Structure 1
Amino acid sequence: MHIKSLKHKYKSGFSIEVSNLKIDDGCINAFVGKNGSGKSTFIKSLIGIIESDEYSIAPNFRAASVRRETSVLIEGSDCFYPTHTTRQNSKYLSSCRGVKATDNYIEYLADALSFKDKIDSRCSELSTGNKRLASIISLLSSRPKYLFLDEPTLGLDFEALGKLHSLLRELVDCGCTIILTSHDLSFVENVSDSFYFVANGSVSKKSTSFDISSLSDGVLENA
């Protein structure tokens, strides 16, 4: 993935500006920064949820063909219809991308996250952590080539974090490229291959080791 030019400016004056940034394919890339540093805005601009002032990226995530290969989890959003089950949501969301999600694959994902006994429960009846797992399963059911996860660990206990870690590594082994943000520093450090540090709307070049001192003040809020 190559971000040649990406720029979005809010009326408040805050802006995201990234140029000539290469992100490795086929691995887990973590974007780390304080609250308000621009991580979520960066992801939303990158995938076209936010209309950018400048946008030159390969692949072009605004293109329909690339969107069909992309799944996105945004902080604070659930990727399902609450009155449907995880199985039903997985099949529907996959069909929207032109993919037929089989029961076997949906159950494989659920089993990998210790969710199999809840796969046919209405999503509205699930706990906060299980709603997050339901969203992840629904997104993964289409076997995306590109996966964007903005704070995927919210509400997850230590067992679920370990299961998610293992599943993400399996997806990478199958060729998936993952963009990840999280305030769970332990999870980020353990699961990721490459690290990019976000501060004041800009993104630093890649590092292959986690170094919290690369942040502007060395401390993540709510970490």
Structure 2
Amino acid sequence: MTTHVLVVDGLAKAFGTKRAVRQASFTVAGGEITGFLGPNGAGKTTVMGMIMGLVEPDAGTIEFLGIRDKNRLATLRARIGYLQERPRTYPDMTARAYLRFFAHLYGVPEATSSVREALDRVGLSQAADRRLGTFSRGMQQRACLARVMLHRPEFLVLDEPTLGLDPNGVADMRAIFREMKADGVTLLFSSHQLAEMERVCDSVVFMREGEVIAAGRPCDIAPAGLGQGTLQAEVFEPAAEALRAIASICEIAEGRQVGPQHVRFVLKTSPGDARAARACAVGLLSAAGLTVLSVDAYAPTLEDIFLGLTRPEPSAGRQLAAALT
């Protein structure tokens, strides 16, 4: 049975006349990694602020680790960690001194070993005695992550934790998230690194214009029809040549290039099962003169789902203009 360690129900928040969040509801399962997605301005940071008690909601409730009252943070402080978007450090402090300072504030037992462990976990052991003012943006982000991990929280809320990290840093962060999940920690984090989210997230929450528009496992929340009947083929010939051949096959629609020798397309009439569809596609492509190396059913990526869910619906005017062109 799934245990929900965070239950958000009907959250709403307005700043003046601007409604930042409208009736947001979702859950986060214990011991899982949940990605929080949406375009800039969707309301994700405001929701995170309300979850952490930094922003007072106008309406709605939050149940966090079984606690559901306004004084919850006093009880939960030792059990949660929060990394804000663009966190600040103290530039004249070394990384080690910075973490020791917060270990003292948190009342962390065995502070010296906890600081050493946190520095090692985020890959800053070699830079521990350098001033934070000399750190790159990505290194400062790592130092801030180490800070929120010092007291070994059960639940981490992270707003853009990979911001400013290079590809190696992002890969290291991914490894950290997996280690924490293996230790039983629950994570809720926002990011625009969709490929990285796809690798680590068990579930996702999508927001658009202040509303939660989908939540759950990526495979369960893809918009209807997204990727349905789509196949991807690798051919020996250049993809541009393959596309020209596909355009002449009446049984195939929506062909597009996705790599130097990879094309994606939809069979107009599905043969029934995936195996039969692949066999049909091989026959059609071969008859068109292409050398087929492989054909596979295509599952939509998190980026496909993100775009499918968050792109605004075209206005009536744009729909009419498109129809007339």
TM-score bracket, shorter-length normalisation? 0.7 to 0.9
Letter in 2 for 1:212: F
Alignment of 1:79-90 (within 5 A): 80-90=89-99
Aligned length: 217
Do structure 1's residue 2 and structure 2's residue 7 form an aligned pair?
yes
Instruction: Return the TM-score normalized by structure 2.
Output: 0.62
| Aligned counterpart in structure 2 of residue 212 of structure 1, from 281, 306, 316 | 306
Could you list the runs of 5+ residues in structure 2 that have no partner in the other structure?
1-5, 219-301, 313-325
2: CA distance between counterparts of 1:35 and 1:20? 19
Does the 8 A contact of 1:91 with 1:141 survive in 2? no
Which deviations, in whole Å up to 9, do the C-alpha atoms of 1:32-77 show, x marking residues without a partner?
A: 1101111111111111111211242112584311123221111122
Aligned equivalent of 1:57: 62
CA–CA separation in structure 1 for the residues paired with 2:184 and 2:210: 29
- Residues 133 and 93 (structure 1 numbering): CA distance in 2 closer, same or farther, change over 3 Å? same
Match of 2:175, as an amino acid?
Answer: S
TM-score (normalised: structure 1): 0.88
Q: Which amino acid aligns with 2:216?
A: S
Report the Cα distance in structure 2 between the residues aligned to 1:55 and 1:87, rounded to whole angstroms: 40
Shift of 1:92: 2.4
CA RMSD in angstroms, aligned pairs only: 2.0
1:100 offset after TM fit, Å?
A: 2.5
CA distance in 2, matches of 1:12, 1:101: 49
Q: Percent identity among equivalent residues?
A: 27
Once the 2 structures are TM-superposed, how far is the Cα of residue 19 of structure 1 from its aligned partner?
5.0
Name the CA distance, whole Å, in 2 between partners of 1:33 and 1:77: 20
Say if 2:122 and 2:143, in contact at 8 Å, map to a contact too. Answer: no
Are 1:101 and 1:141, in contact at CA under 8 Å, matched by a contact in 2? no
Distance in 2 (alpha carbons) for counterparts of 1:48 and 1:205: 24
The answer to whether structure 1 residue 44 and structure 2 residue 67 are counterparts is no
The aligned counterpart of 1:121 is: 130
Q: Which residue of 2 aligns with 1:193?
A: 202
Contact 2:13 2:58 in 1 (8 A): yes
Quote the Cα distance in structure 1 between the aligned partners of 2:307 and 2:56.
32
**Does the aligned pair in 2 maintain the 1:149–1:180 contact within 8 Å?**
yes
Alignment check: 8 A CA contact 2:9 2:24 kept: yes
Please tell me whether residue 143 in structure 1 is matched to residue 152 in structure 2.
yes
Greater relative contact order (CA < 8 Å, ≥ 6 in sequence): 1
Which structure has the larger Rg over C-alpha atoms?
A: 2
| Partner Cα separation in structure 2 for residue 113 and residue 43 of structure 1 | 23
The answer on whether the counterparts of 2:7 and 2:63 sit within 8 Å (CA) in structure 1 is yes
Q: Any unmatched runs of 5+ in structure 1? A: 219-223
